Amino acid sequence: EAIEHYARAAGSEAISVRLTSGFVHDLDAMLARATASTTLVYICNPNNPTATLTPRKDVENFITKLPASTFVIIDEAYHHYAGQSGMYASFIDRPLDDERVIVARTFSKVYGLAGLRLGYAVTSPKIIERMRKFAIEDNINAIVTQAAGAALEDTDAIDAFIQRNTDDRQEFFNQAMARALK
């Protein structure tokens, strides 16, 4: 995963924890691996590539058990695809309550701007200031900025894309069930 690459590039050790047999984050195993020196925990929710969802209440409980000095990145690159699941709730509001939480999102998926490598983080102002020290000067050019602005303004296209994805996913499951695939 890219997060492991970035950890090593920063001189940190990346510790991976396997998913459960149901392909969801094993929060208990992650907690068991966390120590007082753990600086960051990464959770992709909805998960890639399994598309599984970890309920917000479970992640909330997990965060409360981590050392107070441990940051948590919640990668919500696929949040548009979670649908209206009772299991899923975004963490986009959580940094207001806990400055250790960083929510990461991207323009690569539903906005269709993968080649432009643009994303953003939502966290406390204090953490944003710390993160800016690592940003490359002028790392976002004018073309990328214009494309992102246009993508954000075209809400009808985004809504249609999300609906088409939802419909296609349901059709896939319907066809799989009709053929008795598991």
Q: Average per-residue pLDDT in the chain?
A: 90
pLDDT of residue 123: 94
Cβ neighbour number for residue 20 with a 10 Å cutoff: 14
With 80 as the cut, is the pLDDT of residue 95 above it? Answer: no
Enclosing domain of residue 131: 2-138
Residue 157: inside a domain = no
Domain of residue 61, CATH code: 3.40.640.10
| Number of folded domains that form the chain | 1
Rama region for 165: left / alpha / beta (φ>0; ψ in -120 to 50; rest): alpha
pLDDT of residue 58: 94
Residue 114: inside a domain = yes
pLDDT of residue 87: 76
Query: CA-CA distance, 111 to 150, in Å (whole number)?
Result: 10
> Do residues 76 and 87 make contact, with C-beta atoms less than 8 angstroms apart?
no
Residue 82: inside a domain = yes
pLDDT of residue 139: 77
Residue 158: inside a domain = no
Higher pLDDT, 2 or 110: 110
Please, which pLDDT band fits residue 133 given cuts at 50, 70 and 90?
confident
Higher pLDDT, 97 or 162: 162
With 80 as the cut, is the pLDDT of residue 3 above it? Answer: yes
Residue 154: inside a domain = no
Q: What percent of the chain has pLDDT over 70?
A: 97
Residue 178: inside a domain = no
Residue 52: inside a domain = yes
